[in-house]
Structure 1
Amino acid sequence: MQLDHRAQTLLKALVEHYIADGQPVGSRALSRISGLELSPATIRNVMADLEEMGFVASPHTSAGRVPTPRGYRLFVDELLTVQEIDETALESRIQPGILSQPPQKIIANAAQTLSSLSQFAGVVMTPRTESVFQQVEFLRLSEKRILLVVVEPSGEVHNRLLLTDVDYTPAQLTQAANYLNQHFSGHGFEEARLRLNHELQQLQSDMSRLMQAAVAAGSDALADQADEVVISGERNLLHVQDWSSNMASLRKLFDMFEQKSGLMQLLDVSSKAGGVQIFIGGESQLVPMEEMSIVTAPYGVNGKIVGTLGVIGPTRMAYERVIPIVDITAKLLSSALSH
């Protein structure tokens, strides 16, 4: 629904004042801060219309009004004026944490940087890259128990126990390992899985099952090495005014951090969209609390999107400041991982 200029100006002033102050905003305050030459009665009429349309609400304890999730959405989509920032200065604050280090360290530092600059929680979904192996070996431990050894190109070694239906001989295990190493060394397990479905029809069915089990277990072994989501600054959220006295909200919040599945789903959705995305509680089923917003941006490696990062905080956050923090951190993380 389109709002006229007067209604937009008043809604923008209300949201900005509420974000800064945390108290319901009355007509008299709006008359003073909006810059419009309107009587309090006219402002009350516009506020009544905005409330009827679902953009603002009246708490029972006050005559003032507060934004609803729908009001926040209109504000961030159409009315927000992103803060003019010195990108060079902001980059200089972010850059030291995102230098030439191992990828996991770079990602952890990015999450810490988002948290320290926003004073909320920083999250980074780790890169989704295909699991690549250099070599596999099978070691027979006992009847129907085999140890799968996976060696990464970096030299890192991972082990997985396979319980099989068949008691394979050492010669069969050597044959299977040689086949995988000859055809798939330096490739991803997912690629191996797809090709095996077509190529193993000619091999004995027992050997086919062994190699398919090895590919699945090897992929899991490499995937288990890293957390899917890195979170920093959760304790900052204990001091958020809107949540600090609400144990039910805090419980939902930390359940989300502990379970991570819902957070992963949200970050995965945002990775499919370009640029900064804002998820506001109360309008998205992906956000577990009405008082929560998540500002995200995708990042990539060599031009390919591989993950998402963002800031988790209250709906009453300074979006004009958080948006550039998230945007620039995503760009710097992309650059660091690409090099």
Structure 2
Amino acid sequence: MILGLREQKILASIIDFHLKSGESVGSRTLAKLYDINLSPATIRNVMSDLEEFGYIEKVHSSSGRAPTNKGYKFYIDSLLEIQRISQRELLAIRKMKNLELSNSAKLLASMTSHTSFALEPNILRERLDKVELVYINSRSFLAVVVTGSSVKTKHITLTREIKEEDLRNLSFYLNSVFKGQILEDIEISSEVSPLRGETVLLQNFLTQIESNIHIEGSESVIDYLAKSNADLSSYRVFNAKEEMKSFLEALADKSEKDKVNIVLGDDLDSEKLKGLSFIFSTYNKGSSKGMIGIVGPKRMQYGKIAGVVEGVVNYFGKSSKGREDEES
């Protein structure tokens, strides 16, 4: 069924009513509350068609109808208008002096009252710019990895002694051989390394660097899950950062670039996320992709929240790009 303007207007009104009240709605109420300019009888006939094609459903014995997941998807994809953020909200974003990713998550949580997340770009997919091995003493050194977007460090302790000159030679070797290679593809041979059997410590650092995830306001979504009698496993997703990070990385890979993405939990391959919605956008840092957004109940003010997410991501992304240009 191709929805005409009349069907779209009535579906949008049903969803607006449901977002605000959580209740199903009948034709008489729609005629009174919304500027549809159709009689209750005509609205009822259109609602019958929408129900037949799966956009709305009868949820209990009342005469009202509520949107289905298909109805929500059509609304999000075709009818939703992203609202521009207010001057007050824009000012709050611009006052974010410390551009650490964790602060963008805190700001988003405070502005939307929803659980927010910020995922660093996956550095393992970037190319190596430089490795520095800084001698501390005969049994320890600081490993510094530099890519186009990040600098990561790790203090490595050895069980055998190493000379400062050997460590310097190893740094030269690594930069000569592996500069420009994707981090996760690097393989260091213990035969050419003065670290010998403990080369694996450096190898693991280079190829297993983890991107950080910041989650703020998790009590918001957990409170919603509790009220909706969700399974206990749903709570753990938002308390287990590794599980959440893996999920968000997969979501980022499937996202559309340069736009706010809205994904319904009912469309994801996980019972734990049903009844939730994700609003997020990605940003580029170097050759990798980061992600900032919120998660909340399916009933939320999509247009307003999407505008806030867009504002925060645009500011953070542009400011990060500016800092990279200054540093290069």
Give 1:150's aligned residue.
Answer: 143
**Deviation, structure 1 residue 80:** 1.4
Give 1:332's aligned residue.
Answer: 315
Q: 1:209 and 1:121, CA in 2 relative to 1: closer, same or farther beyond 3 A?
A: same
2:205 paired residue among 183, 198, 218: 218
**Deviation, structure 1 residue 180:** 2.5
The farther-off stretch of 263-272 and 114-123 is 263-272
2:258 paired residue among 271, 274, 277: 274
The gaps in structure 2 that reach 5 residues or longer are: 324-328
Matched residue SS, 1:297: strand
What TM-score do you get using the length of structure 1 for normalisation? 0.76
Matched residue SS, 2:44: helix
**Deviation, structure 1 residue 188:** 6.5
Give 1:110's aligned residue.
Answer: 104
The farther-off stretch of 114-123 and 54-63 is 54-63
User: Structure 2 counterpart of 1:134, which letter?
Assistant: E
User: Structure 1 counterpart of 2:35, which letter?
Assistant: G
User: Structure 1 counterpart of 2:278, which letter?
Assistant: I
Q: Does 1:283 align with 2:267?
A: yes
For 1:288-327, list aligned pairs within 5 A.
Answer: 288-301=272-285, 304-327=287-310
Matched residue SS, 2:284: strand
**Deviation, structure 1 residue 69:** 1.6
User: Structure 1 counterpart of 2:279, which letter?
Assistant: V
8 Å CA contact retained: 1:122, 1:311 = yes
For 1:1-339, list aligned pairs within 5 A.
Answer: 1-86=1-86, 88-97=87-96, 99=97, 101=98, 106-129=100-123, 130=126, 133-136=131-134, 149-151=142-144, 158-160=154-156, 170=162, 175=166, 177-184=167-174, 191=182, 204=191, 210=197, 213-219=200-206, 223=209, 228-240=212-224, 243-248=225-230, 251-258=233-240, 259-270=243-254, 273-285=257-269, 288-301=272-285, 304-338=287-321, 339=323
The gaps in structure 1 that reach 5 residues or longer are: 142-146
Q: What is the distance in 1 between the residues matched to 2:205 and 2:136?
A: 12
Q: What is the distance in 2 between the residues matched to 1:23 and 1:140?
A: 70
Q: 1:287 and 1:75, CA in 2 relative to 1: closer, same or farther beyond 3 A?
A: farther
Q: What is the distance in 1 between the residues matched to 2:39 and 2:153?
A: 74
Runs of 4+ in 1 over 4 A off after TM superposition: 136-141, 151-157, 168-171, 185-197, 203-212
Q: What is the distance in 1 between the residues matched to 2:79 and 2:103?
A: 32
**Deviation, structure 1 residue 179:** 3.3
Q: 1:84 and 1:214, CA in 2 relative to 1: closer, same or farther beyond 3 A?
A: closer
Q: What is the distance in 1 between the residues matched to 2:172 and 2:51?
A: 68
Q: What is the distance in 2 between the residues matched to 1:113 and 1:193?
A: 33
What TM-score do you get using the length of structure 2 for normalisation? 0.79
Q: Report the aligned-residue RMSD.
A: 3.6
The farther-off stretch of 114-123 and 32-41 is 32-41
Query: How many residues are treated as equivalent by the alignment?
Result: 312
Q: What is the distance in 1 between the residues matched to 2:256 and 2:80?
A: 23
Matched residue SS, 1:63: coil
Q: What is the distance in 2 between the residues matched to 1:188 and 1:271?
A: 30
Q: What is the distance in 2 between the residues matched to 1:46 and 1:334?
A: 44
Matched residue SS, 2:299: coil
